[in-house]
């Protein structure tokens, strides 16, 4: 399942900086993320990875001041930890609601 930066921002009430149509299909740690993946940065200790990550979309704190250009699309939120946790919770809800198999009762004419 692929989500755009715009869809993610809507779910976590974030502000987009960059390509709102950037798509992601999975997530990873910011230091290991590749194109098509979502990452987040909440701890300033890992800020250097923000400028080298290949992640397509990165969730960051709105208070973070950039020191360099970032390649991916940023979603700014008040608290990146809680926004990422909210996003994972909503994703789990969506996945559990996907029905599979044959719903009972079923009728074939």
Residues shown for the chain:
109
pLDDT value, residue 97: 75
pLDDT of residue 6 exceeding 80: yes
Give me the chain's average pLDDT, please. Answer: 90
pTM for the model stands at 0.85
Q: Name the residue ranges covered by the structural domains of the chain.
A: 3-97
pLDDT band at residue 106, thresholds of 50, 70 and 90? low
Pairing of strands 57-61, 37-41: parallel
Alpha carbon 99 to chain centroid, angstroms? 24
The answer, yes or no, to whether the previous bond of 66 is cis (omega within 30 of 0) is no
- Across the range 80-101, mean pLDDT stands at 83
Say what percent of the chain tops pLDDT 90.
78
pLDDT of residue 23 exceeding 80: yes
- What residues form DSSP beta bridges with 61? 77
pLDDT of residue 36 exceeding 80: yes
- The pLDDT tens digits for 39-59 are 999 998 999 999 999 999 999
DSSP the chain: --EEHHHHHHHHT-EEES-TT-EESEE--TTT--TTEEEEE--GGGHHHHTT---SEEEEETTPPPSS--SSEEEEES-HHHHHHHHHHHHHHHHHH---S-PSS----
CATH code that applies to domain 3-97: 3.40.1390.10
């Amino acid at each position: 399942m692929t989500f755009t930066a715009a869809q993610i921002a809507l779910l976590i009430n974030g502000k987009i900086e960059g390509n709102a149509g950037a798509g992601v299909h999975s997530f990873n740690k910011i230091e290991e993320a590749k194109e098509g993946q979502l990452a987040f940065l909440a701890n300033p200790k890992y800020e250097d990875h923000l400028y080298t990550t290949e992640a397509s979309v990165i969730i960051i704190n709105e208070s973070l001041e950039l020191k360099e250009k970032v390649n991916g699309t940023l979603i700014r939120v008040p608290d990146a930890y809680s926004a990422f946790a909210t996003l994972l919770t909503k994703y789990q809800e969506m996945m559990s609601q996907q029905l599979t198999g044959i719903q009972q009762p079923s009728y074939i004419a």
